[in-house]
Structure 1
Amino acid sequence: MCRLAAAMAVIATAVSCSTGGPSDVASPATPTAPASAAPVTAEINQLRDNYGRQIIAIQLTNTTSGPVTVLGAGLASPLFAGTIEWQGTPGGIELPPGQPKILPAQLRGPACGLSTQQVNKEPVNEEPVNEEPAVELRLAEAWGPGSAATVPAADPYGVLSRNNAEMCLAQAAAAVAAIRLEPELVVSADGQGALMGLTITPRSTPGAVNPGSKGTLTINWIDPTTLLAEDPSAPWPRSVSAAAGGAGQQYWLGIRPARCDPHAVAEDKVGTLLPLRVSVGGRDGVLRVDAGALLRGRIYEFITAACGRQ
């Protein structure tokens, strides 16, 4: 009996030492994946039919051997104000192993206070922009509900810097004048050429969007597009200047088909975005003027008919 009592005392002591109360047990932390351990990589791109709409593609690639579900994604870049969000659907999107998927995201307003050298990361006397674009991800499944990962976003084609430059140029131009293509298209008698109207309407005073614009905009020349070429009989204007408070101007641009292969119209993405080479507010670049739905349809009809006659 003495030996039995001693054994029971030993067992009781062991149990009391090995059993802890609730305060002794650590709560599991919400999983957070650092960039080195993140299950995906990110790259920035842009589809051609989204050029005029300032929509970029956040391309994610699953680097694991199993599926990964992304519930949310947001891109942060010093070239744009605020986070560029992918508007995900309930339940997110599943990334199969090794297969890239594209998440479309609308760009936010551009940060136009940066110099051209800073945007392109060239050495200047000003403070450089060192922050690289990064994607914040909300993940599910194996990474835990609500888990997060931050991954650097490669931009091999300079999508962010190009869009920043074009959007800031457009802001500077809009502070001086409105530029539009008229919906009418005047087709020649032989059907091989046409005229479309380019209208410049100056603001009454220089806008506050870009105070450094000094109220003057110059169209240096106009580039052809994948669909539209210059008609030599009605050449496109060059070195045209418009000043805030000045008179409006209109030009008739002679156009001919730039190509007549069977896929010219069927596969068109940017053929009706007219590229103007402009200088305004200390910036030089391409200002793309959208033809709009009505003129776009008329251009397609003209190209199809003109090519059919050749």
Structure 2
Amino acid sequence: MAGASTPRTTAIRRGPASARTARPETGDRVLPFLTAAVLAVSACSPQPPTPAASPAAAAPGPVTIEVNQSRDQYGQHAILLQLTNTTDVLLTVDLARVTSPLFNGDIAWTPQAGSLELPPHQPKSVPAQLPPPACADLATASPQASATVSFAAAGQQPAALSLPAPDPFGVLPRNNSELCLAADAAKVAGLALDPHLEVAADGRTAVVLLRISPQPTAPGGTPPLTLHSVGGTPLLAEAGPESGAEPWPRNVTVRTGETGTALALRVRPARCDPHAVAEDKVGTLLPLTVTVGTREGVLKVAAGGPLRAQLYDFVTQACQTG
């Protein structure tokens, strides 16, 4: 997780790239520029009143940071921090830390090698684990995240830069919502996929068991969990009536103190192109549309390692069978 990579576009993480045009002065003027970029206030001639610029609209410093997420991080409670060197000289970064009211604790990254080289005018994306979400009422809290980046130019001591952390694709609110929904659901029942896959004799379909394990009844009561529907994935789809399968369950209500149960989900391959398994990232994350109290959304239940391997084998064999 501590490695760095140049960012790549995926269906989940990227939209059109934002243009970055600021080019600070170079060479031995880097450090004075750092001070000016972070602390100076423009001294333009008087103009008609205009709204104050937001932190995200201010001139970029020598390093900028942006929040993002790729399919590699999705389902792992991790995100990407995209660092960009806006100067004409090589910089090294030894710490990046993002603070958001949506999470209890900082989203921090430190390189395993001690520092990360950031070439001039190039971005690099580094993975960072999310802390537990803040699930209280955040209606009055600002969604704006802030960051601290520690960096240095050649021959200089590291400097700490405080700056905004734009989140153009709403990665932090989305992850907060999903994690809080998962936390509320876990108070009602454990939801997990059985590690054993039951493959049909003809190899064309298989049964995934969704195990529901209600928690003991808690004092004061806990709102029930309603499983409205189960969705398919890029790898798995609901087996149709032609296979003799029962439809996937809908509108199942679960309460604390009840007996555990298992829902049988007969699946078939959703696609059989050559890259279906080789390029899969989220095909074994089963999406459940649920409601718990006032929260409603999609809860992703991940297949563990043994089941994931069986699902890949099943899809490969079923596609070859035709």
- Contact 1:67 1:95 (C-alpha < 8 Å) held by counterparts: yes
Counterpart-to-counterpart distance in 1, 2:108 and 2:95 = 8
Separation of aligned partners in 1, 2:87 and 2:165: 18
Distance in 1, matches of 2:271 and 2:313, equals 14
Give the CA deviation at 1:215: 3.4
Whether the aligned pair in 1 keeps the contact of 2:89 and 2:153 (CA below 8 Å) is: no
**1:75 aligned to which of 86, 98, 101:** 98
What corresponds to 1:285 in structure 2?
A: 297
Residue aligned with 1:300, SS: helix
Residue of structure 1 equivalent to 2:214: 202
| TM-score scaled by length of structure 2 | 0.78
Partner of 1:155: 167
Q: Which residue does 1:304 correspond to in 2?
A: 316
Measure the CA separation in 1 of the matches of 2:224 and 2:155: 55
The TM-score normalised by the length of structure 1 is: 0.81
Equivalent residue runs for 1:27-38 within 5 Å? 34=38, 36=59, 38=61
242-251 or 37-46, which deviates more: 37-46
Q: Which amino acid aligns with 2:124?
A: K
Instruction: Identify the match of residue 68 of structure 2 among 35, 40, 45.
Output: 45
Between structures 1 and 2, the one with greater helix share:
1
What's the offset of the Cα at 1:97? 1.3
Q: Are the counterparts in 2 of residues 38 and 150 from structure 1 also a CA contact under 8 Å?
A: no
Provide structure 2 residue ranges, at least 5 long, that are not aligned to the other structure.
1-31, 39-57
Q: Equivalent residue of 1:140, what SS?
A: strand
Greater gyration radius: 1
What is the match of residue 188 of structure 2? Answer: 176
For the aligned residues, what is the CA RMSD?
Answer: 2.1
- Asked whether the equivalents of residues 102 and 143 of structure 2 are also in contact (C-alpha less than 8 Å), the reply is no
Moved over 4 A (4+): none
Q: Secondary structure of the equivalent of 2:157?
A: coil
Q: Say yes or no: does 1:64 pair with 2:87.
A: yes
Q: Is the 8 A contact 1:70 1:93 kept in 2?
A: yes
Say which SS state the counterpart of residue 255 (structure 1) adopts.
Answer: strand
Residue 140 of structure 1 pairs with residue 152 of structure 2: yes
Question: 1:282, CA displacement in angstroms?
Answer: 1.0
* TM-superposed deviation, 1:113: 0.3
Q: Deviations over 1:42-61 (max 9, x none)?
A: 11111212111111100011
User: Would you say the 8 A contact 1:206–1:215 is kept in 2?
Assistant: no
Cα gap change, 1:45 to 1:143, in 2 (>3 Å): farther
After superposing the two structures, state which structure 1 stretch, 285-294 or 43-52, moved more.
43-52
Which amino acid in 1 is paired with 2:79?
I
Residue deviations 1:87-125 (CA, integer Å, cap 9, x gap): 32344101111211012111011000035xx3xxxxxxx
The alignment partner of 2:309 has SS state of helix
Unaligned 5+ residue runs, structure 1?
1-28, 119-127
Retained in 2: the 8 A contact 1:221–1:276? Answer: yes
CA contact (8 A) 1:230 1:236 kept: yes
Query: Which residue matches 2:27?
Result: none
